[in-house]
Amino acid sequence: MPNPTAAMLVIGDEILSGRTRDANMHYLAGEFTKHGIDLKEARVVSDAPDAIVAALNALRAAYDYVVTSGGIGPTHDDITADCVARAFGVGIDVRDDARAILQAHYDRQGLELNAARLRMARIPDGAALIDNPVSAAPGFSIGNVHVMAGVPSVFQAMVASVLPTLTGGAPLLSQTLRVMRGEGDIAGPLGALAADFPDLSIGSYPFQRDGIFGANIVVRGADGARVDAAMTRLSGLFAE
């Protein structure tokens, strides 16, 4: 059986403006790879309700899992939860269990659970909470969509909370051969190798070092024996 597929939706003007560098997609890809879930697509959208809803509906229809990051904080521009509720056609309101989590957290800190913080307890109807051991405010899962915070430490904690609940497949294995030749020189034999191993992903990633062009050739697949066989052929093709 093929591995489950996934997509990521990164939400926030701060990503698209260049103010913030996204680290969450890189982390999620690594965790999904180890769990046997194939991350097939990632999109970044602005804090625009129509864009968020359209992207979310497209992705959740196309993939087994969708993970979102960003837009579930206490400020006016944190609109992800409302957009998810709209995409699923359900209501949204402050939920007692989410409120209790926040109340206990702010009580411990001696802070008030004010109206702004209470926004983080607004959960779409029918969603299950995602645990957040870092800052308490929960994410949530609804259907095949898992809604998480944008702050990397919180996002990573939420991924750890959700991952055991997801059905995975065969972890993707990877081996790399560094070749000190330009891609124009290796493209022909590399293409032939890829045709002989259609069950594997074979990619070429160029670099330049001390004025010399080279490439890292990466072979990926779920079958270790096939990856080994391709690497043996590859080493023979480009023996230094």
| 156 and 178 together in one domain | no
What pLDDT does 17 receive? Answer: 94
Q: Is the dihedral of CA 17, 123, 105, 110 positive or negative?
A: positive
Nearest to 161 by CA among 101, 87, 110, 90: 101
SS3 readout for the chain = CCCCEEEEEEECHHHHCCCCCCCHHHHHHHHHHHHCCEEEEEEEECCCHHHHHHHHHHHHHHCCEEEEECCCCCCCCCCHHHHHHHHHCCCEEECHHHHHHHHHHHHHHCCCCCHHHHHHHEEECCCEEECCCCCCCCEEEECCEEEECCCHHHHHHHHHHHHHHCCCCCCCEEEEEEECCCHHHHHHHHHHHHHHCCCCEEEEEEEEECCEEEEEEEEEECCHHHHHHHHHHHHHHCCC
211 to 120, 181, 207: CA distances (angstroms): 52, 12, 10
pLDDT band at 234 (very low <50, low <70, confident <90, very high): very high
Domain total in the chain: 2
What's the CA gap between 5 and 63, in Å, rounded?
A: 5
Average pLDDT of the segment spanning 52-78: 97
* Residues of the domain holding 191: 173-237
Largest Cα–Cα separation, the chain: 67
What's the CA gap between 220 and 9, in Å, rounded?
A: 24
| 41 and 119 together in one domain | yes
Average pLDDT of the segment spanning 120-124: 97
| 118 and 186 together in one domain | no
pLDDT band at 210 (very low <50, low <70, confident <90, very high): confident
pLDDT band at 82 (very low <50, low <70, confident <90, very high): very high
**pLDDT at 240 > cutoff 80:** no
CB atoms < 10 A from the CB of 114, how many? 10
| 192 and 146 together in one domain | no
CB atoms < 10 A from the CB of 75, how many? 9
The enclosing domain of 233 has a CATH number of 3.30.70
| 99 and 187 together in one domain | no
What pLDDT does 170 receive? Answer: 87
Domain boundary among 132, 165, 198: 165
| 161 and 195 together in one domain | no
pTM attached to this predicted model: 0.87
pLDDT band at 64 (very low <50, low <70, confident <90, very high): very high
- The terminus-to-terminus CA distance of the chain in angstroms comes to 38
What pLDDT does 2 receive? Answer: 86
Domain boundary among 165, 186, 216: 165
| 50 and 111 together in one domain | yes
Nearest to 135 by CA among 147, 125, 150: 150
* Residues with Cβ within 8 Å of residue 34, at least 6 apart in sequence: 171
| 66 and 134 together in one domain | yes
Domain boundary among 165, 196, 216: 165
| 45 and 89 together in one domain | yes
* Residues with Cβ within 8 Å of residue 38, at least 6 apart in sequence: 2, 3, 4, 5, 6, 32, 169, 172
